[in-house]
Amino acid sequence: MRIVMIGHGMVGQRFLETLAARAGDMVHVTVIAEEARPAYDRVQLSAFFNGKTAEDLSVTPHDFFDATGYQLKLNTRATGIDLAAKTVSTATGEVVPFDKLVLATGSYPFVPPVPGNDREGCLVYRTIEDLEAIRDAAAKSKVGVVVGGGLLGLEAAKALKDLGLQTHVVEFAPRLMAVQIDDGGGRLLRRKIEALGVGVHTERNTKEIVDGETCRHAMNFADGKVLETDMILFSAGIRPRDELAKSSGLMVGPRGGIAIDNVCRTSHEDVYAIGECALWDNKIYGLVAPGYSMADVACNHLLNGHHKEFLGADMSTKLKLMGVDVASIGDAHGSTPGSLTYVYVDDRAEIYKKLVVSSDGKKVLGAVLVGDVESYGDLLQLKLNDMELPDKPEVLILPAMEGSPRKAFGPDALPMSAVICSCNNVTKGDICSAIDGGVKDLPGLKASTKLATSCGGCSALAGSVLKCELEKRGVEVKKDLCEHFAFSRQELFHLIKVEGIRSFDELVSKHGKGLGCDICKPTAGSIFASLWNEHILKKPLAGLQDTNDYFLANMQKDGTYSIVPRIPGGEITPDGLITIGAIAKKYNLYTKITGGQRIDLFGARMEQLPVIWKELVDAGFESGHAYGKSVRTVKSCVGSTWCRYGVGDSVGYAIDIENRYRGLRSPHKLKFAVSGCTRECAEAQSKDVGIIATEKGWNLYVCGNGGMKPRHAELLASDLDRETLIKYVDRFLMFYIRTADRLQRTSVWRDNMEGGLEYLKAVIIDDSLGIGEELEKQMQYLVDTFECEWKAAINDPETLKRFKPFVNSDETDSNVVFVDERGQIRPATGAEKKGRIAVAEV
Amino acid sequence: MSSTLVKVCKVHDIPVNLGVGALVKGEQVALFHLPTGEIYALGNFDPFSEANVLSRGLVGDLQGQKVVASPIYKHHFNLQTGECLEDAGVKIPAYAVVVQGDEVYLAV
Ligand code: SRM
Ligand SMILES: Cc1cc2nc3c(=O)[nH]c(=O)nc-3n(C[C@H](O)[C@H](O)[C@H](O)COP(=O)(O)OP(=O)(O)OC[C@H]3O[C@@H](n4cnc5c(N)ncnc54)[C@H](O)[C@@H]3O)c2cc1C
Ligand code: SF4
Ligand code: FES
């Protein structure tokens, strides 16, 4: 059988994979694809701006076409279908015969017919090429406008904002996300989007786009208002690509879309249509999950498989924008006759929840959630599985009363037919059979079932189903730290705390085996420090420290060390600068300003560390803990004291915060920043803890990361006063220290957290585990027992002994050699050492 | 080649679980004191970073072998043989240690 498919998008590729699995090479397949690359993940398209490459986004296994023998013609547009001759012709002049034809042509972004819509910098958001064009245009722009305030429009606005543009959203309807949410939710959503720094303009009808005065374009609206912008993204809905179908005589809907029946067949019995180009029951589905179902149904029918039908799909959605939580389920507007509605509004906390139930109050029909989407998973499952509601359905959206369990039901209550991942149609039953087939973790499940590999919205629920099912089977989830301890870091922390263990010997003899290693020793050392805060160089503890911690300095490639005095908030007096300069000069150290707003002095020999530090300590400096897995810096911007835009004293606050948490030992390093206003010059949203001043107080962001895998921090709470903020940060940090794995930054810890941000908020803000006070107390203990490690070290003769390079000689390491570069020292290379060229005097 | 026993230091000069450097007949040596009471000696030079740093590494055991981990790129060296666990071809000098009373001697 010759099968021809037109279009190679996400749904097309899903069809091919299903086909390959069921028919292998028994069929002869040709794919005609207009884009330049095989199918990629359009759902995650925005990740392109976060550094994902076209390859990262691909959803086509690289050897798929080789392995199947199917033929893929890229850069080839189909231009005609001859239904009588059963051929497809292409723009390259080919004529390809078929026995069965599958149309998977997707859709295109609708651009309103406004004069000027084709001006330079007027773009759409659909393909990788579109995003490249947007990135280039943004580089030349200050202001950007998105036309369309739907799901996609908001995603595009976030992207423009992240590209550094002053961003606006223009919407024709009176509210954002008009299809999915109601007025009440829309009002709140608007507030939240505006708080992100995006201008929102509803009820605006663009009349024309002309030359601007301050920007490249001016958008003139029907009501006489004008908005100036350098670039415009149209995101005003999609239109099915049905032009080929129409011209060949296939039936299309009055407003477009290739009409299909329940088996995805068009008006011609040998032609199928699937995905966003298909019209079923007068509906176009602009989501990938229904497309996947269609691919499955069509493939099944085409191969004469057992009877399967497409009977519509769930359109529930959760917005995947950071900082703005919005979800909509089923009949969000309560338009089902006789339906009953519950609404919960908390203006203070910016939460809006609406629940629509059947007239007898027994079934969920729909819901709108803004600001708190914790119950999305539960409500969706209740709706999809047609499960019976509790007596008082309102508890599903009301905040939990103190003491009462929050969850309406656990993963155990779900029926086997419950769809856990709607993108990939994976049910709880599928998960269970994968587990019975030997799968033990989430990565394994992803590989074998595709679960959580598309929008990712299901991963938290999937994780809890997995855990619950593994536990039911008595499977132990292995998280051993190393060969010496059959415990995770979190378990060790607990044991050490509960049993009051203070030495490694005691820990190994009670709970481990062997001598330990360079993994478990520093881990234990760090836990002891987080719990008991004794000096890390005290005798039995000293042997646990990694060399950086052991010498209270960072070892460099040649065995010398760097010295980083603490400069809280990056604020330093001229005298402080002079002192550091004088010391650097005296000991001939290389100096550099670090990325953490302080000064690093390089090239100190081991034996020099105590003398140099003595001078620094005498001059009032403290250890900067650059060597420890501990709190590093609290970066600040200049803030309201000097800056014309500042609304908060970011420097003063940064100093206070750095002084509070300095030296705190943790599973990995911790970085903070405080910005004085939303311009965010301190880059707080890339930190483990980020704080941004607002007109009303301080916004607290957590779990950001720069480094290898950057991650934006997420808003934990807004407009806090200083006291509440410190309380939340205390709880947050201690909770992280207690529960994270070894060398796990807060970002990765958060990504692995079941229940995600909502769970974290519940623990930190609502104190859902009832441990808030204990966490605060533990932190206060650490704050109260803080001492500068260097100050203590230079006053202890026993410790000082260790800084001698040789026990039996006063000589120094002759292999440490420096040469001059740009007026300072640097380590000599191997070749230079051999030739001893231009060696600097040290 | 004949080696001689050289007195290096006292046992308590090497803190338990830690290492110290020593200069013996012009060679840089790293001595380690395990909690079991044993003392081992290896060359101090880490061939991977080309720096004299092994005395500043963490000691322990891995897969039944007593090892030190280099503080720079974390290669593990067998304390008895000097063999690198991660790179079978690499071997650094291992010296015999003799303890008499309180004194530590090295065969160099
Ligand atoms: C000195 C400094 C570079 C500079 O000259 O500017 C630096 C130097 C080192 N960084 Fe860094 N990082 C420095 C700022 C940063 C920053 C910028 C910042 O803090 O704002 C980042 C990205 C932000 C972040 O961490 O989220 C950064 C991300 C890293 C990473 C990647 C962390 C990650 O989660 O991906 C590592 C590797 C690691 O920790 O495993 C690292 C590791 C290192 C180490 C410790 C590598 C090592 O083991 O030898 C370097 C030794 C420092 C030394 O010898 O003193 N450094 N490093 C900066 C010291 C800041 C300070 O004052 O303490
Ligand atoms: C930025 C963005 C975010 C999104 N987020 C989500 C989300 O969170 N959740 C969700 O469910 N959905 C989301 N979607 C929608 C989702 O991407 C689509 O539902 C899905 O890609 C549809 O797949 P498809 O294969 O039907 O169409 P497409 O992926 O559009 O593929 C159709 C392909 O056919 C090609 N083609 C068309 N005509 C021809 C021709 N004549 N000849 C040759 N080739 C042709 C096109 O070039 C295209 O490559 C998002 C979409 C975008 C753009
Ligand atoms: S973040 Fe605000 S206050 Fe701070 S320097 Fe920038 S503009 Fe000024
Ligand atoms: S629901 Fe989208 S990936 Fe599972």
Q: Which domains does chain A have, with CATH numbers?
A: 2-108+240-302 (3.50.50.60), 122-236 (3.50.50.60), 314-409 (3.30.390.30), 410-477 (1.10.10.1100), 629-788 (3.30.413.10)
Mean pLDDT throughout B4-28? Answer: 92
Residues across chain B: 108
**Does the predicted interface ipTM exceed a cut of 0.90?**
no
How high is the mean pLDDT of chain A? 90
Distance of CA A664 from the midpoint of ligand 1 (Å):
17
Query: With 50 as the cut, is the pLDDT of residue A406 above it?
Result: no
Query: With 60 as the cut, is the pLDDT of residue A36 above it?
Result: yes
Mean pLDDT throughout A763-775? Answer: 90
A514 touches chain B (CB under 8 A): yes
Taking the C-alpha atoms of residue A172 and residue A111, their distance in angstroms, rounded to an integer, is 13
Distance from CA of A318 to the nearest CA of B (A): 44
| Count of other CB atoms within 10 angstroms of residue A751 | 15
- Find the CB nearest B15 among A543, A813, A830: A543
> Going by CA atoms, what residue is nearest to atom 1 of ligand 4?
A421
With contact defined as beta carbons under 8 Å apart, do A79 and A88 qualify?
no
Report in angstroms the alpha-carbon separations of A161 from A145, A698, A774. 10, 21, 39
Mean pLDDT throughout A792-805? Answer: 87
A327 touches chain B (CB under 8 A): no
Q: Is A646 in the pocket of ligand 3 (CB under 6 A)?
A: yes
Mean pLDDT throughout A353-374? Answer: 90
pLDDT of residue A441: 80
The pLDDT tens digits for B57-91 are 999 999 889 999 999 888 999 999 999 998 888 99
pLDDT of residue A95: 97
Chain B contact probe: residue of A503, A505, A544, A547 with most B CBs at under 10 A: A547
pLDDT confidence of A718, banded at 50, 70, 90? Answer: very high
A83 touches chain B (CB under 8 A): no
Is A277 flagged in the annotation as binding?
no
pLDDT of residue A841: 40
> Going by CA atoms, what residue is nearest to atom 1 of ligand 2?
A45
User: Which residues of A are less than 8 Å from B60 in CB distance?
Assistant: 484, 514-518, 520-521
Strands ordered across the beta sheet of A561-563: A554-555, A561-563, A599-604, A590-593
With contact defined as beta carbons under 8 Å apart, do A451 and A421 qualify?
yes
Q: Which token pair is A384?
A: 């999809």
Distance of CA A513 from the midpoint of ligand 1 (Å):
34
| Count of other CB atoms within 10 angstroms of residue A186 | 24
pLDDT of residue A835: 65
| Count of other CB atoms within 10 angstroms of residue A490 | 17
CB-based contact A830 B67, cutoff 8 Å: no
Mean pLDDT throughout A438-459? Answer: 79
Residue pointed to by tokens 């996609």? A152
Q: Which of A372-386, A598-612, A761-775, A806-820 has the lowest mean pLDDT?
A: A372-386
CB-based contact A515 B60, cutoff 8 Å: yes
pLDDT of residue A759: 87
Interface of A with B in 260-289 (CB under 8 A): none
Q: Which residues contact A271 (CB under 8 A, 6 or more apart)?
A: A81, A83, A100, A101, A102, A103, A250, A265
Q: For residue A144, which of A202, A219, A225 has the smallest C-alpha distance? A: A219
Q: Which of A139-143, A345-349, A591-595 has the lowest mean pLDDT?
A: A345-349
Q: Give chain B's end-to-end CA distance (angstroms, integer).
A: 10
Report in angstroms the alpha-carbon separations of A174 from A148, A187, A441. 12, 10, 46
pLDDT of residue A476: 65
Which ligand is in closest contact with the Cα of A47?
Answer: 2
Query: With 80 as the cut, is the pLDDT of residue A185 above it?
Result: yes
pLDDT of residue A593: 97
Q: Give chain A's end-to-end CA distance (angstroms, integer).
A: 81
Distance of CA A410 from the midpoint of ligand 4 (Å):
19
In the DSSP assignment, the letter for residue A27 is S
pLDDT of residue A408: 47
pLDDT of residue A659: 96
Pocket test for ligand 3, best of A680, A683, A695 (most atoms within 8 A of CB): A680
Q: Is A690 in the pocket of ligand 3 (CB under 6 A)?
A: no
Q: For residue A14, which of A259, A314, A275 has the smallest C-alpha distance? A: A275
Q: Which of A25-39, A99-113, A186-200 has the lowest mean pLDDT?
A: A186-200
Residue type, A263: V
Stated as kind and residue range, the H or E segment containing A804 is: none
With contact defined as beta carbons under 8 Å apart, do B31 and B14 qualify?
yes
With contact defined as beta carbons under 8 Å apart, do A436 and A428 qualify?
no
Report in angstroms the alpha-carbon separations of A204 from A136, A155, A171, A174, A723. 27, 19, 6, 8, 42
Which ligand is in closest contact with the Cα of A43?
Answer: 2
Distance from CA of B1 to the nearest CA of A (A): 24
Residues of B near A (CB-CB distance < 8 A)? 8-9, 13-18, 20-24, 28, 31, 34-36, 45, 49-53, 56-63, 66-67, 69, 71-72, 74, 76
pLDDT of residue B2: 57
Distance of CA A347 from the midpoint of ligand 3 (Å):
29
Considering chain A, what percentage of its residues have pLDDT values greater than 70?
96
With contact defined as beta carbons under 8 Å apart, do A149 and A171 qualify?
yes
Considering chain A, what percentage of its residues have pLDDT values greater than 90?
63
Distance of CA A669 from the midpoint of ligand 1 (Å):
9
Taking the C-alpha atoms of residue A172 and residue A253, their distance in angstroms, rounded to an integer, is 25
> Going by CA atoms, what residue is nearest to atom 2 of ligand 4?
A455
A516 touches chain B (CB under 8 A): yes
- Nearest 5 degrees, angle CA B45-CA B49-CA B54? 40
| Chains A & B: contacts with CB separation below 8 Å | 105
User: Which residues of B are less than 8 Å from A551 in CB distance?
Assistant: 56
With contact defined as beta carbons under 8 Å apart, do B40 and B79 qualify?
yes
Distance from CA of A524 to the nearest CA of B (A): 13
Nearest ligand 2 atom to alpha carbon A289 = 11
The pLDDT tens digits for A107-137 are 999 999 999 999 999 999 999 999 999 999 9
Distance from CA of A517 to the nearest CA of B (A): 4
Which ligand is in closest contact with the Cα of A96?
Answer: 2
With contact defined as beta carbons under 8 Å apart, do A206 and A170 qualify?
yes
Chain A contact probe: residue of B31, B62, B73 with most A CBs at under 10 A: B62
Q: Which residues contact A303 (CB under 8 A, 6 or more apart)?
A: A19, A22, A23
Q: What are phi and psi of A598, to 5 degrees?
A: -150, -175
User: Is A51 strand, coil or helix?
Assistant: coil
pLDDT confidence of A478, banded at 50, 70, 90? Answer: low
A518 touches chain B (CB under 8 A): yes
Query: With 90 as the cut, is the pLDDT of residue A653 above it?
Result: yes
Q: Which residues of A520-543 are buried (b: 16+ CB within 10 A; e: fewer)?
A: bbbbbbbbbbbbbbeebbeebbbb
Taking the C-alpha atoms of residue A797 and residue A795, their distance in angstroms, rounded to an integer, is 6
pLDDT of residue A144: 97
Please name the residue of chain A whose CA is at the shortest distance from the CA of residue B24.
Answer: A808
Nearest ligand 1 atom to alpha carbon A671 = 19
Query: With 50 as the cut, is the pLDDT of residue A838 above it?
Result: no
DSSP-assigned beta bridge partners for residue B23:
B28
Q: Where are the domains of chain B?
A: 5-107
Taking the C-alpha atoms of residue A632 and residue A322, their distance in angstroms, rounded to an integer, is 26
In the DSSP assignment, the letter for residue B12 is G
Query: With 60 as the cut, is the pLDDT of residue A221 above it?
Result: yes
pLDDT confidence of A323, banded at 50, 70, 90? Answer: low
Domain B5-107: CATH architecture, name and number where available = 3-layer Sandwich (2.102)
pLDDT of residue A713: 95
pLDDT of residue A837: 44
Three state DSSP letters for A662-715:
CCCECCCCEEEEEECCCCCCCCHHHCCEEEEEECCEEEEEECCECCCCCECCEE
CB-based contact A808 B31, cutoff 8 Å: no
pLDDT confidence of B1, banded at 50, 70, 90? Answer: very low
The answer for A377, left when phi > 0, alpha when psi is -120 to 50, beta otherwise, is: alpha
Distance of CA A711 from the midpoint of ligand 3 (Å):
22
